[in-house]
Every structure is written in C-alpha cells, then in structure tokens.
Amino acid sequence: MPTTNYPTHPRKILLGTDLSSRCDRAFDRAAELSAQWRATLVIAHALQRDVSSPNTARREVPSWRRAAHEAVLIARQQVRQDLMGRDVSFEVYIEEGEPIDLILKLVRETQCDLIVTGTARSETFGRILLGTTVEQLARQSPVPILVVKTRPRRAYSRVLVATDFSDASRSALSRAAELFPDAAITLLHCYRPILHGLAGDSQCDGDNELAQAEWDEFLSSIPSDLRDRLEMLIEGGSLESVVGAFFADKGLDLLVMGSKGRGAMVHVLLGSTADRLLSSARSDVLIVPGGPNPASS
C-alpha cells in the first residue's frame, strides 16, 4: 500500500468558511468530526480586498471587514456560540487575501490533516468549488479535502470509493477505511464509457475483460482485512450516472476519490469528471491526495 504519513485520525481540521449560514452544514460536520476525533478545529476566513472604489467603498464596508483583529474577535464569539455544548477546541484565523492561498498557508503552518468546506456560491470560500479552482486546490493540497453538501444528521456509515486502479485511488481507499472504521465501504470501478466514450458496442466485452483483469490485480494489492470489509462493484457506464443510481437505490453518505495532490490530475477521477461529480453528487465528497503528507512532516 502507498504510504501517506497521515495520523490515523486528524489532529487538526481546517474549516474554510465565509462565516455565514451558507457554510452551516460544513461547520456542523467539521465540528462533529473534531469532537469525534478529539481534533482541534481551525477556522479560516479570507477577507476580500475591495479595490473598486478605495475612497468610498472603505467607509461602506462594516467594521469587521475593515479591521482583521476586530473580525477575529467577532468570529471567535460567533464560533463559541455555534459550538456551545460541544467539547471542541478551536483556533480562528482571518486574513485579507484569496481563500485558496489562506487555506494552503494554514495547512502548512498549523499542520492540519483535513480540509473541510462547503459548496456555497459566494465571493469568498464558495467559489473555490467552482470551475478550475477546485482542480487547483485538489492538485496543491497535501491533505484530504472534504466537500460537505448534506446536513450532517449522522456519522458517515455508507461510503463509496471510486477507483481507476491507480495508486491515488488505492490511497483514497486506505484513508477512507482509516477515517471511518465502522462504515460500510463499497469499492466502485466504472469501465465504460469513461475509458472509451466513443467506442462501439463491439468493444464492450473487451472493455469488461480488461477492467476485470485490472480489478483482480488491484484487489490483490489490498490487505485481506480491508478486502473483507468491502462490497465490490465493477459497472459499465459513466461515473456520474452510476454514483447517482447508487445514491438513489442504496443510499450514500460519502463519495471518496483520489488525486495525486501535485501535478496533473489522475486519469478520469479528477478534472472535468470531478467538476461534474461535485456538482451532481448528492452526498458529501472526500478527495484524497496520493502522495506523502507534507503538513505532518
């Protein structure tokens, strides 16, 4: 199995938030996981620079957006209220700049093991999940990224791990099993039309045989105790359609995908497929980088 150098459970969880109700679901899930794992919750909020009208816009911006130290005080008070009744330690960081830059900076400086964020479309953290920016975050983040889309009514109990037989997807499976030891895990590979989107029907049997051979080789590299936990599915069709059908028919709390963490996207799991899947998936999504974890080194 590839080494990732992650602790079994995260010691620090970074929550990227705009401190509005749009991020409540991500906040609640991050707080739940922090309490479950006894991890410190690191709250990150980026103040956006307003350069459209330096002289007049400054006076129209509320005080908590004019002075970072005031923003931190207000945010800490809000976080304390939101965490009332939960045994969670937390830190708050508010700085001017781009959200993705602040996230990556804090991951390095505070040695966070997991990033949590939501899907709100806003001019702050919401936009990192749209277009190519999520690809940049997935490429650059040295730690897993949890995209929260659903209200956290329970712990993750039904997990689907998408695999393309790469080391990255093997790392994603291993990490999901470590993080959620009590969850039922299904390992899914979609062999067509992702790999042969323009191929004719005559290639179906060949595609299936090739996928089955790769599947057997992939499973042989997984420890037997982990294999015993898995429900395994190899399906024809697009990843988005199969995941959607799985959610509708069997229920799904969390979809897990792998990335290399640096460099180009891995095969079909990230890139345009991930963009579509992040938009269409009705469950939360965990993206796991495949290399070592520099944040903990």
Are residues 201 and 77 located together in one domain of the fold?
Answer: no
Whether residue 123 lies inside any domain: the answer is: yes
Please say whether the beta carbons of 186 and 161 come within 8 A: yes
Q: Are 252 and 283 in contact (CB under 8 A)?
A: yes
Same domain, residue pair 254 and 171? yes
Q: What is the CATH number of the domain that holds 208?
A: 3.40.50.620
**Whole-number Å distance between alpha carbons of 297 and 293:** 7
Instruction: Measure the N-to-C terminal CA separation of the chain; round to a whole number of Å.
Output: 19
Q: What is the extent of the structural domain holding 279?
A: 158-296
Instruction: Give a yes or no: residue 265 inside a domain.
Output: yes
**Of 87, 121, 147, which residue constitutes the final position of a domain?**
147
User: Do 245 and 283 reside in the same domain of the chain?
Assistant: yes
Q: How many domains does the chain have?
A: 2
Has residue 6 been placed in a domain?
Answer: no
Asked if residue 210 belongs to a domain, the reply is yes
Domain boundary among 119, 147, 175: 147
Query: Residue 272's pLDDT is what?
Result: 57
In a domain, 162, yes or no: yes
Same domain, 142 and 162: no
CB proximity list for 114: less than 8 A, separation 6 or greater:
10, 12, 13, 14, 33, 39, 143, 144, 145, 146
Q: Which amino acid is at 236?
A: G
pLDDT, position 136: 66
Same domain, 64 and 114: yes
**In a 10 Å sphere around its CB, with 0-12 CB exposed, 13-18 middle and 19+ buried, how is residue 223 labelled?**
exposed
Distance CA 215, CA 266 (A): 17
Q: Is residue 2 part of a domain?
A: no
Among 147, 173, 198, identify where a domain stops.
147
Query: Residue 274's pLDDT is what?
Result: 60
Three-class DSSP category at 160: strand
In a shared domain, residues 102 and 219: no
251's tokens: 């229920």
Q: Per-10-residue mean pLDDT for the chain, 297 residues long?
A: 63 88 88 94 79 47 59 79 86 85 93 85 44 62 90 93 86 93 92 49 58 82 89 86 90 87 39 65 87 46
Is 19 within the bounds of a domain?
A: yes
The pLDDT of residue 196:
45
| Residue 1, both tokens | 């199995």
Query: How far, in whole angstroms, is CA 20 from its chain's centroid?
Result: 20
Quick one: 206 and 76 in the same domain?
Answer: no
Q: Residue 241 contacts by C-beta under 8 Å, 6 or more apart in sequence?
A: none
Within-domain flag for 7 = no
